Structure 1
Amino acid sequence: MARPQTDHEAAAEKLLAAAEELVRERGPVQITITDIANACGMSQSNVYRFFPSKEALWEAFAERWFRELNEIMEEVVASDLEPREKLYQFFARRLIVKKARFEEDPDYFNSCMILGDEHRDVVMSYVDLADHYMAMILAEAIGAGEFKGMKVDRLMTLVNLMLAPFCDPVLMVRYRGATPENLRYVIDAIFEGFGEADAVAPKEMEPLRIAS
Structure 2
Amino acid sequence: MADPLTPARILEATEDVLRRYGPAKATVVDVARALGVSHGSVYRHFGSKSALREAVTDRWLDQSHAELSAVADAEGPAGPRLRQWLTTLFAAKRRKAGGDPELFATYMVLAGENSGTVERHIGIMIGQLARIVEAGVAQGEFTAVDAAATARAVWDATSRFHDPAYVTEWDRPGIDEAFGTVCDLVLRGLRA
Which band: TM-score by shorter chain? 0.7 to 0.9
What is the match of residue 184 of structure 1?
Answer: 180
Per-residue CA deviation, residues 64-110 of structure 1 (Å, 9 max, x unaligned), is 21233011122112211311111112121121122122112222211
1:161 & 1:70 partners in 2: Cα distance? 18
Letter in 2 for 1:113: M
Of residues 31-40 and 47-56 in structure 1, the stretch that sits farther from structure 2 once superposed is 47-56
Report the Cα offset of residue 184 of structure 1: 3.4
Residue from 136, 156, 172 that aligns with 2:151: 156
Q: How far 1:30 sits from its partner (Å)?
A: 4.3
Q: Pick from 26, 32, 39: which aligns with 2:27? A: 32
What residue is the counterpart of 1:47 in the other structure? 42
1 CA distance for matches of 2:105 and 2:152? 27
2: CA distance, partners of 1:110 / 1:123: 15
For 1:74-113, what aligned pairs fall within 5 Å after superposition?
A: 74-113=69-108
Structure with higher Rg: it is 1
SS at match of 1:146: coil
Superposition pairs for residues 198-209 of structure 1, below 5 Å?
none
**Aligned equivalents of 1:92 and 1:70: distance in 2?**
14
Structure 1 residue 17: Cα displacement: 1.8
- The worse-fitting range, judged by mean Cα deviation, of 100-109 and 134-143 is 100-109
Q: Provide the rounded CA distance (Å) in 1 between the counterparts of 2:56 and 2:86.
A: 23
**Residue 59 of structure 1: CA displacement?**
2.9
Amino acid at match of 2:125: A
**RMSD value, Cα:** 2.3
Cα distance between partner residues in 1 of 2:127 and 2:143:
21
Whole-angstrom distance in 2 between the partners of 1:20 and 1:137: 33
Contact 1:77–1:133 under 8 Å retained in 2:
yes
The number of residues matched between the two structures is: 188
* Ranges in structure 2 where 5+ consecutive residues have no aligned partner: none
Of the three residues 135, 140, 159, the one matched with 1:140 is: 135
In the aligned structure 1, how far is the partner of 2:87 from the partner of 2:38? Answer: 43
After TM superposition, list the pairs within 5 Å mapping 1:120-135 onto structure 2: 120-135=115-130
Paired letter, 1:134:
L
Runs of 4 or more consecutive aligned structure 1 residues displaced over 6 Å after TM superposition? none
What is the TM-score normalised by the length of structure 1?
0.77
Deviations 1:13-35, CA, capped at 9 Å, x for gaps = 22212211121122231432222
Residue 13 of structure 1 corresponds to 8
Does 2:162 match 1:167? yes
CA distance in 2, matches of 1:98, 1:76: 16
1-side partners of 2:175 and 2:167: how far apart? 6
